[in-house]
Every structure is written in structure tokens, then in C-alpha cells.
Amino acid sequence: MNIILFGPPGAGKGTQAKYLVEKFKLFHVSTGDLLRNEIKKKSDIGKKIVNEMNDGKFVSDDIVNELIKDIVLDPQKKENLIFDGYPRSISQAKNLDLLLSGSEQKIDLVIFLNVNKDTLIKRIEKRKIIEKRSDDNLETLANRYDTYMDTTRPVLDYYSKKPNFHEVDGTLKIDQISAKIDTFLNF
Ligand code: AMP
């Protein structure tokens, strides 16, 4: 089972991914976490991307596609993947399709967590205090939200026509959302 969790920044993708990872032993593919890890390690990639990440801008496709490639093709992880924050553009979605079809995999479920902008702003303000992420501030959120609307939201049309696409009201309580997701997985 390969799953994509889709939604704007602050929609709760990471929270639901953690729930699914624990319950179904899936492997969490968060490009945001992978990139933050490169910055923490002070790797060459980390040094290149630190400013873009802090400003809430997209990191280049080349870097992000390369980071997910090894995970998607790893025999220990493949067919057990939950994508969080990837794909974020049509070109990334096409890259993922190619990687998956080339390794006899597919996306089995796409879950869209739909949350309005006002709720996102309130959540990011809270998360800023708890997680201390350097890109969680109102100015950066405005950038990230605009980029989401311009570049990421069109990916929704790409997936919504496919079977196993589900939209969930992401303003519900965390366990209500998890319960809805469970029903898509037939448990
Ligand atoms: P996230 O943790 O998913 O909110 O991502 C945090 C930041 O990492 C984003 O604002 C981007 O700067 C970068 N990032 C994460 N995923 C991607 C991606 N798929 N493509 C480009 N940049 C990304």
C-alpha cells in the first residue's frame, strides 16, 4: 500500500502520517523532514537549501527527486510508503509516476486534507511555539500558501480523477480524521 497525504502547509499531514506509520507499519516519506535533516547535518545539499527553506520557497526538483528516489526503490520500504509533502508540483507527480511504474508500484490511495486559510494560520502560530520551525511565521506561511495554491493545488486535479481519491475535512479533530482515514483502508 502506497499512500499520498495531500494538503496545504499546516493541514495535519505529518500528524496523520505518524498515525498511519504506527498503525500499519508504513514508511514515512516526508520531503520536508528529509530536507531539514540535510540542513541539520550541514551537508552540501543542506548548505544549498537553507535559505530557500527558511523563506518557504520550493527546493529544486532535482534535489527533492533525488532524495526520494532511494527510498521509493528500497526493497525494504517499497509498497509501504506514505508520502507527506511530495509531490508538490505536476512535474514531481510525473516523476513519482515514472519511479513507481518503473519499479512495479503504484499509488493506492490519495487523501486530501482540506483546511481553510484562517485555520491554517491559527495552527501554524501554535506549531511555531511547539516545534520552533524556522519557516513557521506568518510571512513565510503567506509565501508557502500562495505557492501551494499556484503550484501544488493543480496536482489535486491530477489525482482527483483517479480511483481511491478521498477528501477529508481537515478541520475535524485529529482522531476524527484518523477514523475517517481508517474507513478508506477498510479497517
Ligand atoms: P514541509 O515540512 O512539508 O512543510 O516542507 C517544508 C519546506 O521544505 C517547504 O516549505 C519547502 O521549502 C521544502 N519542501 C518540502 N517538500 C518539498 C517538495 N516536494 N518540493 C520542493 N520543496 C519542498
Cα distance between the two ends of the chain: 14
Count of CB atoms situated within 10 Å of the CB of 79: 16
Tens of pLDDT, residues 119-154: 999 988 888 888 888 888 888 888 899 999 999 999
185 occurs within a structural domain = no
| CATH number reported for the structural domain that contains residue 166 in this entry | 3.40.50.300
pLDDT for 103 beyond 70? yes
184 occurs within a structural domain = no
187 CA distance to ligand 1 centroid (A)? 31
6 CA distance to ligand 1 centroid (A)? 12
182 occurs within a structural domain = no
160 CA distance to ligand 1 centroid (A)? 22
62 CA distance to ligand 1 centroid (A)? 13
Find the mean pLDDT for residues 61-73: 97
186 occurs within a structural domain = no
- The residue to which cell 494538503 is assigned: 7
What rounded mean pLDDT belongs to the chain? 94
**Is the CB of residue 28 below 6 angstroms from any atom belonging to ligand 1?**
no
Tens of pLDDT, residues 160-171: 988 899 999 999
14 occurs within a structural domain = yes
**Is the CB of residue 64 below 6 angstroms from any atom belonging to ligand 1?**
yes
The pTM for the full model equals 0.94
In a 13 Å sphere around the CA of 103, the CA atoms on its Cβ side amount to 18
Domain membership of residue 66 as a residue range: 3-175
Domain count, the chain: 1
- Which residues is 84 bridged to in the sheet? 5, 30
